[in-house]
């Protein structure tokens, strides 16, 4: 049977322990409190009829929570205090750029170590395209692909909200992590697994997904990842959008006028010849780039495998 004040005595001790362990990583803290809780339960198992004094003896033998905490700090290493993490200019720039210049923002987000892999993925998915894409989107929509005006309005209103949620999420995570004083650097296994192959294949085709996979993998270093992200900006989706936009704004048309006297004159309004030529060259270049990048990533992957361990980004 439980001692009269068992609950009070035990939970009081555990609360003091938890408090004394402040500053240790939350996971370690929780583990230690759990261990000590199990210890007390184990010790109570051996008692036939426990008294308050029995419990107090168990706790005495366990030791002062402050001593256990001091030992834990020594054994588990002093964790760098939250203040040691500099107020990241990188992180702030990442959040701002995310909303304004998406590719740059995403690159900065992934360069920073302040966010966990999961946070970065969420940010990448939730902030698709930034204002850049909004421009393209409203351009496409405005050109009559969707004639309904309110669809445009809804898109224009909703997309910035979604991006802001992404940016706010990152900011909150940053704040939490800084307070926790623990950069969550999850190191995944390296290698040319399914993830890496999917990243190489999807980067030119479905850019956002390919880029996410690229950054999730630890098989490439940060430089490779940046090249993979920025060189094919948007993959073929981005390319088609890019090609669409000028084509839409330059609808060629001919206006003809016949004055009362004289022959009919026609004026051709379309992209000038030189612009078309440059457009064609740029177009071919853009079409080839994603493939080249995918090949580059593939080569880097082969170089890295299997002997050398991957350098975590």
Partner 1 sequence: MPADGLVTQMRKGALEYCVLALLVGRSRYAFELIEGLASTGMLTSEGTIYPLLSRLRRDGLVDTEWRESSDGPPRRYYRLTADGKRALKVFRDEWAGFRTTVDAVLEKGGTL
Q: Which is nearer to partner 1, 46 or 144 (CB)?
A: 46
> Structure tokens of 186?
């999850």
Asked if 156 contacts 134 with a C-beta cutoff of 8 angstroms, the reply is yes
The residue whose two tokens read 């395209």 is 129
| Binding site residues, partner 1, CB under 8 A | 17, 28, 31-32, 35-36, 38-39, 41-43, 45, 61-65, 67-68, 71-72, 74-76
> Structure tokens of 35?
């261990």
The candidate with the shortest Cα–Cα distance to 246, out of 267, 208, 272, is 272
What's the closest the beta carbon of residue 119 comes to partner 1, in angstroms? 24
What's the closest the beta carbon of residue 75 comes to partner 1, in angstroms? 4
The candidate with the shortest Cα–Cα distance to 94, out of 38, 156, 171, 25, is 171
3-state SS assignment for residue 3? coil
What's the closest the beta carbon of residue 36 comes to partner 1, in angstroms? 6
Asked if 14 contacts 33 with a C-beta cutoff of 8 angstroms, the reply is yes
What's the closest the beta carbon of residue 77 comes to partner 1, in angstroms? 8
Distance CA 150, CA 35 (A): 59
> Structure tokens of 152?
């445009």
Where helices occur in the chain by DSSP H, the ranges are 6-20, 26-45, 52-62, 65-75, 89-100, 102-111, 117-126, 130-140, 149-180, 194-205, 207-216, 222-230, 235-249, 273-304
Q: Which is nearer to partner 1, 54 or 196 (CB)?
A: 54
Query: Using the 8-state DSSP alphabet, how is residue 127 labeled?
Result: S
What's the closest the beta carbon of residue 199 comes to partner 1, in angstroms? 30
Q: How many CB atoms lie within 10 A of CB 228?
A: 25
What's the closest the beta carbon of residue 62 comes to partner 1, in angstroms? 4
What's the closest the beta carbon of residue 19 comes to partner 1, in angstroms? 15
Q: Which is nearer to partner 1, 52 or 64 (CB)?
A: 64
Q: List, in order, residues 6 or more apart from 52 with CB less than 8 Å away.
A: 3, 4, 5, 6, 9
> Structure tokens of 269?
């309004």
What's the closest the beta carbon of residue 70 comes to partner 1, in angstroms? 9
Q: Which is nearer to partner 1, 39 or 223 (CB)?
A: 39
């Amino acid at each position: 049977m439980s001692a009269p004040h068992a609950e009070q005595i035990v939970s009081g001790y555990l609360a003091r322990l938890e408090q004394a362990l402040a500053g240790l990583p939350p996971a370690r803290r929780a583990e230690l409190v759990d261990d000590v809780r199990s210890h007390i339960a184990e010790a109570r198992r051996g008692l036939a009829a426990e008294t308050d004094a029995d419990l107090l003896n168990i706790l005495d033998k366990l030791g002062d929570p402050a001593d256990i905490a001091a030992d834990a700090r020594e054994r588990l290493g002093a964790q760098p205090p939250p203040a040691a993490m500099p107020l990241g200019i990188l992180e702030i720039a990442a959040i701002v750029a995310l909303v304004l210049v998406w590719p740059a923002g995403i690159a900065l987000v992934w360069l920073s170590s302040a966010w966990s892999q999961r946070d970065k993925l969420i940010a990448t998915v939730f902030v698709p395209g930034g204002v850049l894409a909004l421009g393209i989107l409203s351009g496409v929509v405005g050109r009559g692909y969707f004639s309904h005006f309110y669809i445009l309005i809804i898109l224009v209103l909703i997309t910035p909200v979604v991006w802001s949620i992404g940016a706010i999420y990152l900011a909150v995570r940053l704040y939490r992590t800084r307070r926790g004083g623990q950069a969550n650097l999850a190191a995944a296994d390296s290698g040319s697994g399914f993830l890496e192959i999917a990243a190489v294949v999807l980067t030119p085709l479905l850019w956002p997904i390919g880029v996410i996979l690229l950054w999730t993998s630890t098989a490439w270093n940060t430089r490779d990842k940046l090249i993979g992200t920025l060189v094919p900006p948007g993959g073929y989706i981005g390319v088609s959008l890019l090609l669409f936009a000028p084509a839409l704004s330059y609808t060629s048309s001919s206006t003809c006028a016949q004055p009362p006297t004289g022959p009919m004159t026609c004026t051709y309004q379309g992209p000038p010849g030189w612009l078309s030529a440059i457009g064609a060259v740029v177009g071919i270049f853009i079409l080839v780039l994603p493939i080249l990048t995918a090949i580059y990533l593939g080569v880097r992957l082969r170089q890295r495998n299997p002997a050398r361990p991957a350098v975590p980004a």
